Structure 1
Amino acid sequence: MQDTVPSLPKLSVWERCVLTLSLIPLPLVVLCNFLTSPLSPRNKGKTNARVVFDSTARYVLARCDIRQLQHVSGTTYAAYTSWLKQSKAPAVVEKLDNGARLLWVGAKRTDRVVIYCHGGGFVGPLSDFQCAFWARVQEQLFSKHNGQFIGVAVLEYSLWPAAFPSQLTQLMAAVSHVFASGVHPSNLYLAGDSAGANLILQLVSHSLHPLTISPSVSTSPLSLDDSHPIGGIILVSPWISLTCDGGSFKANSDLDIIPAWRLASWGTAYLAPISPSQHPYVQVLTPASPETWLSGIQNLVQRVFITAGGNEGLRDDVVHLSETLKKVHKDVRIEVQPGAVHADPIFDVAAKSKGLSYVTGMITDWLAEGNGRPGF
């Protein structure tokens, strides 16, 4: 199957030169970080593989603007096919409305399903290691929880310059599609990291406060009828404030894998075309968001699991989100991993760490706990 998403940005000669020159020092920077890692607070407790990966990622992200990043990162479908080659798994792809697709990690299932929304600041595509992360969750679920199975479908959504609510309508189409395929709401889970988690909160917000800005954004597939809540949502380092100006952004600016100023630049680009009245949909905890904005989520979602890293800029925002949700939902769990950075459990897989982080184990256990819950 061919990649049908828009082509990558075509960089000018000048942009290519700037990009090339900026990346020349990368090997030396990574080597220096590696050699000094025992003395660096940023690398404390990390394996050698994580030191190399995190140093590389931070350097590249700090030096690539959005167009350059998209150019070097490729497309979501290219990352999916890369993972297919590594895992020798067959491609299972389903087209959706609004230009989106579901890319299945393994076989398609209709008994229990996770729809996964990848991170990337709404500017970056899926990475092959994100597929590998969910494949490892599937493997652990099967091996440690009496042969449990769960299907994982990656949502290929539009990236910047595609603007809100295009990604929201694509997630809505994905949820409607899996329901139409026979998945019961209680057996559906939505999972996302960073911007992907933000996208899930967009859907929750739209379900609680329906948008009427265009005919394409209509009734949410998540019903406020409390007899049909979905199984749960998993929010890994959810991107709550796109302005990135919370206290932990300053405290952890030299520790996190993504520089706060770079994440803020992606947020500025995403927010630019959005009217202030719609900001609560993409920033659920800003001063512009009513205190009761998330009231009613318990009718939509049975359970909520949230993770954050102790050394990530988003930490305070994520903790604030969990505290807010606990006021309106009885089953909210949060784990702040000491010394961890943004989306740390997934980056463990990216660095090819031998073992799963304990947080990945918690996610797997949490999914296992939901198995066998009665439908409504």
Structure 2
Amino acid sequence: MNLKEEAVYAFPSRLSIDIEPLEEGNSSLLWVGDRHRAKKVVLLFHGGGFITPLLPGHLEICWRACVGAGIEMGTEVAVAVLEYTLYPSATYPTQLRQAASGLSHLISSGFLPQDIIICGDSAGGNLAAQLLCHIVRPHPDAVPIQLATPLAASFFISPWLSKYTNDRSYAENGSIDMVSAASVGNTVKQLCGYPDMEVEKNELASRAFPLDMEVPCYEGLSSATSQIHVTVGYNEVFRDQCTLYVRQVRQFNPGMKVQLDIQEKLAHDFILLEGLEERTGECMEAMKAWMKPLLIDKV
């Protein structure tokens, strides 16, 4: 059996139950991989509109794209999956507080920022982007994060970055994508706990959406993360938001590595669908290929 096959088939034999409660109540880190041996760690925020819990497909992403990349590169990688509180038990900014607590815990546990990668899909991508903004411009309700060096990288999969639904990609793809303007509108109300107009007027609530902040947090993101990679399907409603986000980050962070991967013929969060099918398809392979250079120790 070669290393690639081991990365796929050794999953059951390497699994153990390892859950760490966090100081921020009702949240914990679920570990995939051996955190005691890990040289690199991925802090992963699962998607699901802040309503749906972690799915088996998310664990497949952890194993196939992250831990599997480490096996192939000869570097021990562990993934810390944040178990955050879902609606209706909690609204914004509870999830941000829990994300900040998770990152703070990793650092206090001895992981260096340059060995930490943050990742999220869909609403999890929103939470990852929120966390970067919080590092640069701390939210008053979450523990501040002070980094000695930037995080190794940030990987956003089909991230949800704005409460608005008037982009061209919504009009083009609303009838074919799994996400729609109606579902986003309902989720905005649930996440923020405000009627629509109050969300518009409440600056702290608007901070749940990185593209909608009154005072954008793009400037200084290079102090929070060394690079950002955004992947989005051409046939999904979030395409234009992701394109705008990347353009803004590039504008305010010259010299920072910021990549946008618009995947032709794909729609929202197709890597999760690959995970649910328990297969390593083109999305999983692309993420693993992105991961591998990050696992090489810089001299």
For Structure 1 versus Structure 2, the TM-score category normalised by the shorter chain is: 0.7 to 0.9
8 A contact 1:222–1:229 mirrored in 2 = no
Quick check: 1:345 aligned with 2:271? yes
Question: How far apart, CA to CA, are the structure 1 residues paired with 2:203 and 2:67?
Answer: 43
Question: How far apart, CA to CA, are the structure 2 residues paired with 1:177 and 1:163?
Answer: 22
**Contiguous gaps of at least 5 residues in structure 2:** 1-10
Question: How far apart, CA to CA, are the structure 2 residues paired with 1:269 and 1:254?
Answer: 23
Question: How far apart, CA to CA, are the structure 1 residues paired with 2:46 and 2:231?
Answer: 15
List structure 1 segments (4+ residues) > 6 angstroms apart after TM superposition. none
Q: Match for 1:366 among 287, 290, 295?
A: 290
Tell me what 1:105 maps to.
32
Q: Match for 1:251 among 167, 172, 175?
A: 172
Deviation at 1:232, TM superposition (A): 1.0
Quick check: 1:151 aligned with 2:78? yes
Question: How far apart, CA to CA, are the structure 2 residues paired with 1:234 and 1:222?
Answer: 20
Tell me what 2:3 maps to.
none
**Superposed counterparts of 1:167-316, under 5 Å:** 167-212=95-140, 214=141, 217-218=142-143, 220-223=144-147, 227-273=148-194, 276-286=202-212, 288-290=213-215, 292-316=216-240
Give % identity.
Answer: 24
Q: 1:347 to 1:260 in 2, by over 3 A?
A: farther
Number of matched pairs = 278
Question: How far apart, CA to CA, are the structure 2 residues paired with 1:95 and 1:118?
Answer: 17
Question: How far apart, CA to CA, are the structure 2 residues paired with 1:280 and 1:260?
Answer: 18
8 A contact 1:148–1:368 mirrored in 2 = no
Please give the secondary structure, in 1, of the residue aligned with 2:252: coil
Question: How far apart, CA to CA, are the structure 2 residues paired with 1:166 and 1:116?
Answer: 17
Q: Which has the higher contact order (CA 8 A, sep 6+)?
A: 2
Q: 1:302 to 1:276 in 2, by over 3 A?
A: same
Deviations 1:17-75 (A, max 9, x none): xxxxxxxxxxxxxxxxxxxxxxxxxxxxxxxxxxxxxxxxxxxxxxxxxxxxxxxxxxx
> RMSD of the TM alignment (CA)?
2.1
Q: 1:316 to 1:352 in 2, by over 3 A?
A: same
Deviation at 1:107, TM superposition (A): 2.1
Q: Which amino acid aligns with 2:291?
A: L
Deviation at 1:222, TM superposition (A): 4.3
Deviation at 1:170, TM superposition (A): 0.7
Q: Which amino acid aligns with 2:169?
A: S
Quick check: 1:134 aligned with 2:62? yes
Q: 1:289 to 1:373 in 2, by over 3 A?
A: farther
8 A contact 1:193–1:343 mirrored in 2 = yes
Q: Which amino acid aligns with 2:104?
A: S
Q: Which amino acid aligns with 1:356?
A: G
**Superposed counterparts of 1:37-48, under 5 Å:** none
Q: Which has the larger radius of gyration?
A: 1
